[in-house]
Amino acid sequence: MIQRIAELRDEARAAIVAATTTGELEELRVRYLGRKAELPNVLRGIAQLPPEQRGPTGKAANQARQALEAQIAQRGEQLAGDELEDRLRDDAVDVTLPGSPAQQVGGLHLLTSTRREIEDVFLGLGFKIAEGPEVETVYYNFDALNHAPTHPARGLMDTFYVSDEVLLRTHTSPMQIRAMQAEPPPLYVIVPGRVYRRDSDATHTPQFHQIEGLAVDEDITLSDLKGTLLAFARAIFGPDREVRLRPHFFPFTEPSVEVDVSCFNCKHGTLRDGSRCPVCKGTQWLEILGSGMVDPNVFAHVAEHGYDPERVQGFAFGLGIERIAMLKHAVPDLRLFYDNDVRFLEQFA
Ligand code: PHE
């Protein structure tokens, strides 16, 4: 029995020396000194031994147990110390290291930044911003805007109808009516938003963005329109720009004009090397929007809201955000805005 005690003690000693973590050490304590371990059981079984063996066996077992307990305690302290040091080293923060590189946060889409740029110009001129429904009624989109019942835009080929009376708005102009219903004159408002048409090619997508402008007051004339658009053109395309008005037709303005801005890319239609300017195609002018003086027939629809055509006049304009962005940044194909190719978008972010 004493022989077996010595064997157990030596086996345990070797194992304790070899232990590399406090966890392992705890397992060894259970294995050699725990309730079910062999050595403590020897001590518990002493009474069954012949009397002359009880003394020496008990002594040997006790000594072995105490020696192992002491060894475990000592090794435990050592290992705990090592582990603490490891942890301190691993957790150390080197405050002199450079910080992590800034996260890429992306940027605004060119259409968003262009819209905001345009909005800023008109906010600066005293206009406020309103928004309206993209799903509109025929009344607001066409009837109240003086479109004859036979107007081609009303055709199914031109327009996305939800039902006979409801459609996706083909322009932001219905908001002229809604804005006037909401507030009496004087009114200075711009309306950014999505519009929908059954068109699809390099310069048309079925959905695109417009900004509507409407100014109604007493004594508003065409020259107020021209001055406002001149300020806009200079803010967006450069301080030397000029604008010109060309006669045009819209059902809801009279007179109606198309507005051109002088080309910002060339002098007299040619580049320095004598070649034709690709931006204005040699014409020296860029068409930027449609506009005109609000037709009295339109005011008739909102007369009960304070818009007496005998007393107030107004001008309205509608511009395409895509068109402005394409001109300003020489974007060749409108569809690039919607392909979501980051290599394209990043150039403007
Ligand atoms: N709504 C017209 C269009 O989409 C543009 C326009 C707006 C013309 C306001 C005149 C006045 O073509």
CA pair distance 234, 325, nearest whole angstrom:
15
280 backbone φψ class: left, alpha, beta (φ>0; ψ -120 to 50): alpha
* Tens-binned pLDDT, residue by residue, of the chain (349 aa): 888 888 888 888 888 888 888 988 888 888 888 888 888 888 788 888 888 888 888 888 888 888 888 888 888 898 888 889 989 988 888 888 888 888 778 899 999 999 999 999 999 999 999 999 999 999 999 999 999 999 999 998 899 999 999 999 999 999 999 999 999 999 999 999 999 999 888 778 999 999 999 999 999 999 999 999 999 999 999 999 999 999 999 999 999 999 999 999 998 999 999 999 988 999 999 999 999 999 999 999 999 999 999 999 999 999 999 999 999 998 988 899 999 999 999 999 8
CA pair distance 169, 175, nearest whole angstrom:
10
pTM over 0.75: no
Judge if the upstream peptide bond of residue 152 is cis by omega within 30 degrees of 0. Answer: no
To which CATH superfamily is domain 110-345 assigned?
Answer: Bira Bifunctional Protein; Domain 2 (3.30.930.10)
Dihedral over Cα of 220, 222, 223, 227: its sign: positive
User: Phi, psi at residue 336, to the nearest 5°?
Assistant: -60, -30
- Atom number of ligand 1 nearest to Cα 319: 5
Residue nearest to atom 2 of ligand 1 (CA): 318
Q: What's the pLDDT score for residue 138? A: 97
Q: What's the pLDDT score for residue 11? A: 87
Instruction: Please give the DSSP secondary-structure letter assigned to residue 213.
Output: E
Q: What's the pLDDT score for residue 63? A: 86
Is 114:56 a contact under the CB 8 Å cutoff? Answer: no
Tell me the C-alpha to C-alpha distance, in Å, between residue 38 and each of 9, 16, 41, 71, 280. 11, 17, 5, 18, 99
Residue to mutate (ligand 1; options 171, 198, 220; most atoms within 8 A of CB)? 171
User: Phi, psi at residue 244, to the nearest 5°?
Assistant: -135, 150
Q: DSSP assignment of 74-106, as one string? A: HHHHHHHHHHHHHHHHHH---TTSPPPPPPP--
Two tokens, residue 74? 């000592």
Residue nearest to atom 5 of ligand 1 (CA): 318
Q: What is the distance in angstroms between the CA of the first residue and the CA of the last residue of the chain?
A: 85
Domain map (residue ranges) of the chain:
2-90, 110-345
CA pair distance 223, 61, nearest whole angstrom:
114
Residue to mutate (ligand 1; options 142, 173, 196; most atoms within 8 A of CB)? 173
* Residues at CB less than 6 angstroms from ligand 1: 171, 173, 212, 250, 253, 290-292, 316-318
